[in-house]
Amino acid sequence: MAPTRREFLIIAGISAIGAACPPLSRIIAKETPSRGTHLPGAPGSAPALTAKRWAMVVDASKCSSDCKDCMTACHEAHNVPAIANPNHEVKWIWPERFENVFRAESHAHIQETVRKQIIPVLCNHCDNPPCVRVCPTGATFRRADGIVMMDSHRCIGCKICLAACPFGARSINFVNPRPFIRKLKADFPTRTKGVIEKCNFCEERLARGILPACVLACEEKALVFGDVEDPNSKVRQILDKKFSIRRRAELGTKPQVYYIL
């Protein structure tokens, strides 16, 4: 039976009130969490570390050629699979030579120590990240504090971000990564095949008030992490004193990992 005019007006009126109300979830939560805000740390943990602009200084001159502490710590903390096939490798932080990291700056007469220097490379968490620009689904995005994040659940695995990143910082899971995880860490998610991943500046640790795993693992204190917008931060103190360079800065992506050699 079709509604009468009176019934129709009642239904329409109630619908209009419902449409005008904020969603129930928002009323209950009392606030709208949005990208770029920090979730409070878990109960009982230290307050979250926050910054206007997170950045890292890598003093590679302190790195010895056989040390992989930062890499091991990172890959263990994030359940990064250890895949032997270099074509399918997943890497968040890994060692490279000067001539590969700073190709334009490399020349035949560069000092021996620099030529042989092992340099840890990772995602630069660019201020103007091309990977974020090209991503068709918003699976990779930049937080207000500068961390370039990956949402593995949103990622469709189109790999355009791998093409867009000028630093080769991104990996795709060509195969199911889970069998290749050496020691499963229960407090960090694993990934599935077909999605992209990369360094996340340990945002999950910052939320619990802990510095990134690579920074804490380095005995030489070669990696320093902090707020580059804060003049009193450790990163700023180092940048103020020493000469630093960034990878491929001429491309305008504004990398936020600074190197001292």
Partner 1 sequence: MLEKALTGSRRYGILVGILLALFGMGVYFYLRQLEYGLGLTGMSRDVSWGLYISQFTFLVGIAASAVMVVLPYYLHDYKAFGRITILGEFLAIAAVIMCVTFIFVNLGQPSRVLYVMFYPSLTSVLFWDMVVVSVYLVLNVITGWTVLSSVKEGVPPPAWVKPFIYLSIPWAISIHTVTAFIYAGMPGRSFWLTAIMAPRFLAAAFASGPALLILLCFVLRRFGGFDAGKKAIDALATIVTYAFLTTIFFVVVELWTVFYSQVPDDMEHYRFLFVGLDGYNTIAHGMTVAVIAAAAALVLLINPRTRKKDSLLAAACVLVFLSLWIEKGLGLMVTGFTPSPLGHLTRYTPTGPEAAIAIGIWAMGFLIITVLYKIFLSVREAAELD
Q: Which is nearer to partner 1, 27 or 104 (CB)?
A: 104
CB of 203 to partner 1, least distance (A): 21
Q: Which is nearer to partner 1, 71 or 101 (CB)?
A: 101
199 binds partner 1 (CB under 8 A): no
137 binds partner 1 (CB under 8 A): yes
Q: Given the complex with partner 1, which of 160 and 216 has the nearer CB atom?
A: 160
Told to check if 87 binds partner 1 by CB under 8 A, we report yes
The least distance separating partner 1 from the CB of residue 155, rounded to whole angstroms, comes to 6
- 259 touches partner 1 by CB under 8 A: no
The single residue among 13, 47, 138, 189 that binds partner 1, judged by CB under 8 A, is 138
- Binding segment for partner 1 (CB under 8 A), chosen from 126-134, 142-150, 215-223, 231-239, is 126-134
Does 82 engage in binding with partner 1 (CB under 8 A)? no
* Of the candidates 77, 75, 73, 122, the residue with the CA atom closest to the CA atom of residue 96: 122
Residue closer to partner 1, measured from CB, 139 or 148 = 139
Out of 175, 211, 216, 238, the residue judged to bind partner 1 by CB under 8 A? 175
**Is residue 130 within the footprint of partner 1 (CB under 8 A)?**
yes
Q: Looking at 12, 156, 184, 245, which residue binds partner 1 (CB under 8 A)?
A: 156
Q: Which is nearer to partner 1, 101 or 217 (CB)?
A: 101
3-state secondary structure the chain: CCCCHHHHHHHHHHHHHHHHCCCHHHHHHCCCCCCCCCCCCCCCCCCCCCCCCEEEEEEHHHCCCCCCHHHHHHHHHCCCCCCCCCCCCCCCEEEEEHHHHCCCCCCCCCCHHHHHCEEEEECCCCCCCHHHHHCCCCCEEECCCCCEEECCCCCCCCCHHHHHCCCCCCEECCCCCHHHCCCCCCCCCCCCCCCEECCCCCHHHHCCCCCCHHHHHCCCCCEEEEECCCCCCHHHHHHHHCCCECCCHHHCCCCCEEEEC
Question: Is there a contact between 185 and 213 (Cβ–Cβ < 8 Å)?
Answer: no
Structure tokens, 170: 């991104």
Q: Could you say which of 48, 82, 110, 134 contacts partner 1 (CB under 8 A)?
A: 134
Residues of the shown chain interacting with partner 1 in the complex, contacts defined by CB under 8 A: 86-89, 91, 96, 99-101, 103-104, 121, 130, 132-139, 154-160, 162-168, 171-176, 192-196, 248, 251-253
